[in-house]
Amino acid sequence: MKRLSVNIDHVATLRQARGESEPDPVGAAFIAETAGADGIVTHLREDRRHIQDRDVYILRKTLKTKLDLEMAATEEIINIALDVVPELVTLVPERRQELTTEGGLDVAAQVARFKEVTARFHKKNILVSLFIAPAKEQVRAARSAGADFVELHTGEYANAKGSTIDDQLERLKEAAMVAAKLGLKVNAGHGLDYRNLKAVAMIDEIEEFSIGHALISHALFVGMERAVKELIDILKEAEH
């Protein structure tokens, strides 16, 4: 069965807009798990624009599924992650001005650096995922760096229109196949929603989907529980 990891960052975005304590992303995580989510993802950004350190530490204590800590490989955040000990860290590029994570990591250009960071996490039994474009050279570099997972960036697929959608699906499929052949586990995420999830969920090698913006947006109107369940239903449909 394909798995759903729910990214709760935007619950914190709403909280930070008011600078008070509500809505609490920890509460959202609880409802998402109760509705059937297989894990919770959260991105502790260097600028702390949404998720705060407190959220990560409380989630570590309260989650019943698993915590995937999305993060830039900077010394400050690495040290927090080594202290929190999530089940998985997903390393992503981060730029101050971006609205959201824009591209994948260029692992191929920095294999030695990612190898060193991955080894530090492995010492603490934390699995490592590298967020990359669906490009074979990046997949191979992730394998050389010792990663356990790759998360394939689905942003270009999500933005594709017309006949280019199939080209993007093909890129994702090829990258997923190369990753699986190399013994990597494959996740995918970015820009996935209620319309575009099914086609990408039909790629056999992709095991888990990390979804935030579309889910939290839908939850504003239908509630968190239903928003999660509707995505799980799409994943079930894709199995057939």
- Name the site residues for ligand PXP (rule: CB under 6 A): 7, 9, 43, 70, 90, 92, 100-101, 131, 151, 189-192, 210-214
CB 186, min distance to ligand PXP, A: 13
Give the residue with the Cβ less far from ligand PXP, 45 or 143: 45
Residue 190 designated active-site: yes
DSSP assignment letter at 87: S
State the nearest-atom distance from the C-beta of 190 to ligand PXP, in Å. 4
The C-alpha atoms of residue 50 and residue 101 are separated, in whole angstroms, by 13
Q: Which is nearer to ligand PXP, 7 or 169 (CB)?
A: 7
Quote the least distance from Cβ 156 to ligand PXP, whole Å: 12
The verdict on whether 213 is a catalytic residue reads no
- Active-site residue, 10 included: no
In the chain, the amino acid numbered 16 is: Q
Three-state SS annotation for 43-70? ECCCCCCCCCHHHHHHHHHHCCCCEEEE
> What 3-state DSSP class applies to 19?
coil
The answer to whether 6 and 32 have CB atoms below 8 angstroms apart is yes
| SS3 state at 33 | helix
* Catalytic hit among 10, 33, 50, 70: 70
- Find the catalytic residue in 10, 43, 50, 153: 43
Neighbours of 198 (CB within 10 A): 13
Q: Which is the catalytic residue, given 10, 50, 153, 190?
A: 190
Question: Which residue number, 153 or 173, has a Cβ lying nearer to ligand PXP?
Answer: 153
CB of 166 to ligand PXP, least distance (A): 21
Q: Strands 67-71 and 39-43: what pairing?
A: parallel
Which residues are known catalytic residues? Answer: 43, 70, 190
